[in-house]
Structure 1
């Protein structure tokens, strides 16, 4: 609470002056209230949880004999290029496939991923190959598309020289 204290007269002669009043303000109740409010809001606030996507990684086989080769009819390759371009082809690069270009929109790669050619084949494996010029955002976007389209089998694979040459022949560079 606030209280007013009067100063006593010094007893010296001379003019009589008006008494000076000093104000003493007790800050304890206000500090208590501030800490109570701070504690209340800290305890009632829900903290934002980080948004993560769970990726199940396969167990690495003991030898190369345990790996089964991927058939061309069960392969679909997505190459992440620069300037947010997405290149894709059906089959394996050894078969000289036709390279197509799209983007990350709902009418782009998502439409391709939900097409009957991919969804009807239970053994279809989507191979994702980011180029050196692609951005990290592109990898996150394509993994989001895999989750949105409910694609069960996909793998992040290093891009090889044959894929780079295929993209270079498509782009003219």
Structure 2
């Protein structure tokens, strides 16, 4: 523990007004307490679990899936968080492509899900300039709205030419 030694020097004939005090602090109990606290917090802490998006990929063979144009919704992710979508088949000059944002795409997906239920097929395309975060966000929207049928596909050259004339 802590010791305090008080010594008064004795001189011949002159009394000293100052007292010399020497302190010695033993830190061994404090170190023990520190290790006990560290051990306690390590054993009682819960490790955070990673939030992982489950993505099921088809096994082996590639098969073309036939979808009616009335049930198809195509979403195109572009740079600067821009999102385009069109329903059904794309018109030759892209007149049916509509520009939107994530807030509106969420409500669009919800309404299409209510209208078509399990028949809705969402086709997700992204440009080379689209951020990875946007792809993850749109996949999150698929799981939030419980859309079971969606596909990540390469961007068509027609769509590239329409977006970047």
Instruction: Tell me the secondary structure at the aligned position of residue 115 of structure 1.
Output: helix
- What is the root-mean-square deviation of aligned Cα atoms in Å? 2.8
Aligned residues: 161
**2:107 aligned with 1:111, yes or no?**
yes
Distance 1:15 1:59, change over 3 A: same
Residues 26-45 of structure 1 show CA distances to partners (whole Å, capped at 9, x for unaligned) of: 11111111111121122222
**2:81 aligned with 1:78, yes or no?**
no
The Cα of 1:72 is off from its aligned counterpart by 4.2
Task: Give yes or no for contact 2:76–2:83 (8 Å, CA) kept in 1.
Answer: yes
User: In the TM superposition, what are the counterparts of 1:73-152 in structure 2 within 5 Å?
Assistant: 73=69, 74-93=71-90, 96=92, 98-105=96-103, 108-116=104-112, 119-120=115-116, 122-152=118-148
Any gaps of 5 or more consecutive residues in structure 2? none
Instruction: Tell me the secondary structure at the aligned position of residue 147 of structure 1.
Output: helix
Task: Give yes or no for contact 2:113–2:120 (8 Å, CA) kept in 1.
Answer: no
Instruction: Tell me the secondary structure at the aligned position of residue 150 of structure 1.
Output: coil
TM-score, structure 1 length as denominator? 0.76
Residues 117-169 of structure 1 show CA distances to partners (whole Å, capped at 9, x for unaligned) of: 7741523321110111211121111111111111101111111211112334x
Distance 1:15 1:148, change over 3 A: same
For 1:25 and 1:69, the matched residues in 2 are separated by 78
For 1:30 and 1:37, the matched residues in 2 are separated by 11
Task: Give yes or no for contact 1:79–1:87 (8 Å, CA) kept in 2.
Answer: yes
Any gaps of 5 or more consecutive residues in structure 1? none
Aligned to 1:159: 155
